[in-house]
Amino acid sequence: MGGFKDMVAADRKGVFLNLDFFGDTLCVEGKEIVAVIDSEELKNRQGGQELAVADSATLFYARKEDLPARRAPGSNLNVNGRECIIDAWQENAGIATVVLRESISA
């Protein structure tokens, strides 16, 4: 099946999730993937608030097929060797938007 869906799929990998343009490499559940980290969108979702000293948070976009099966909020996801808690996981047009937090123990 050709057409618009194929063009969107090609743009997801070739432009948006391209290491030369926007992408970064993350290790998710032991698998290296290309993702886009968006600190500004995270700040917008938090109402412009800065993070508390005891919390660290990340919002990233990745291709749905590069990630494990979608997980519910409150579930764990290992990113770059850190166990994080999923706050939100949305999927749209083959792109997953994942919001994570990590409590830093004192």
- Report pLDDT for 26: 94
Question: What confidence tens digit (pLDDT) does each residue in 6-25 have?
Answer: 666 666 555 566 666 677 89
Of all residues in the chain, the percent with pLDDT exceeding 70 is 67
Within 13 A of 4's CA, how many CA atoms are on the CB side? 1
Q: Out of 8-12, 20-24, 27-31, 65-69, which region has the weakest mean confidence (pLDDT)?
A: 8-12
- Report pLDDT for 54: 41
Domain ranges, ordered by start, for the chain: 4-103
Mean pLDDT value across residues 98-102: 91
Question: What confidence tens digit (pLDDT) does each residue in 37-52 have?
Answer: 887 777 777 665 555 5
Can you name the residues that pair with 99 across neighbouring β-strands?
59, 88
Rounded to whole angstroms, how far apart are CA atoms 12 and 15?
A: 6
Of all residues in the chain, the percent with pLDDT exceeding 90 is 46
Mean pLDDT value across residues 66-92: 95
Residue 87's contacts (CB-CB under 8 Å, 6 or more residues apart) are 57, 73, 99, 100, 101
- Give the sign of the dihedral formed by CA 12, CA 38, CA 105, CA 48: negative
CATH of domain 4-103: 2.40.10
User: Measured between alpha carbons, how far is residue 55 from residues 14, 59, 84, 103 in Å?
Assistant: 33, 14, 11, 5
